[in-house]
Amino acid sequence: MNLNGAVALITGGSEGIGHALAHGLKAEGAAVTITARREDVLVPAAEELSVDWLVGDVGVEADAIRTVASVVEKHGRLDILVNNAGFGLWKPLIEMELADLESVYRTNVFGAFLMGREAARQFIAQKSGELINISSTSGLKGGRGSTAYSSSKFALRGMTECWRDELRRHDVRVMLVNPSEVLTSFAAKVGWDQQASAKKLRSQEIADAIIGALRIDNRGFVPEFSVFATNPF
């Protein structure tokens, strides 16, 4: 697709992969809006990027509806939705509470569903659109302590496959992106001691890969891809 002039909405766009992708799409000439729950973090990021911003929680239905509607009202269309908002929680199974699982699913699964549904309604009406879900290689293979996070990404992958089959009939491309370990603030927020290394992935590599996939002519698309560091050891 031609990214120049495209209208893009990125959830969780105040930092990490979302921030890098907003920067990349803006550089391509897209009209970008980023969202996040915290205004104090979102506004400085939007000002730095020179993009629009909307405060909202993707896991709250009214916020999801309002967010997509606001972008469509301003631009008259929506061309790209990136479901990037997400977080993790690592606990042994026997220490997990139901509330732990529910909190992760509220954003990673239900939030992606709500935003995807609202965007899909617009995409079907205009007979075009790009729906990109940011998953993880943890959604391809689970591990100890990762019941909440990995299973949420497995669920996102399943929803993506359903949406892909359903929406391609309306000329809508649905893609799933599985980043491996990326150096972001994600790890610190969940108490994971991430070791920094110049050989590990940055958000920039993920953003570059997504933009490359979007550039493919609309007659074809990349349904799913993973991004690994070449040699992080």
Options 149, 151, 152, 203, the catalytic residue: 149
CB-CB contact of 115 with 158 (8 Å): no
Walk along the chain (233 residues) and give the pLDDT tens digit of each residue.
Answer: 999 999 999 999 999 999 999 999 999 999 999 999 999 999 999 999 999 999 999 999 999 999 999 999 999 999 999 999 999 999 999 999 999 999 999 999 999 999 999 999 999 999 999 999 999 999 999 999 999 999 999 999 999 999 999 999 999 999 999 999 998 766 556 555 667 888 899 999 999 999 999 999 999 999 999 999 999 88
Options 14, 138, 146, 153, the catalytic residue: 153
Distance CA 142, CA 139 (A): 7
Options 14, 136, 146, 150, the catalytic residue: 136
pTM of the entire predicted model: 0.94
Note if 105 is an active site residue. no
- Domains of the chain, first to last: 7-227 (3.40.50.720)
Note if 149 is an active site residue. yes
CB-CB contact of 9 with 71 (8 Å): yes
Distance CA 120, CA 115 (A): 8
Q: Which secondary structure element, helix H or strand E, spans residue 208, and what is its range? A: helix 203-215
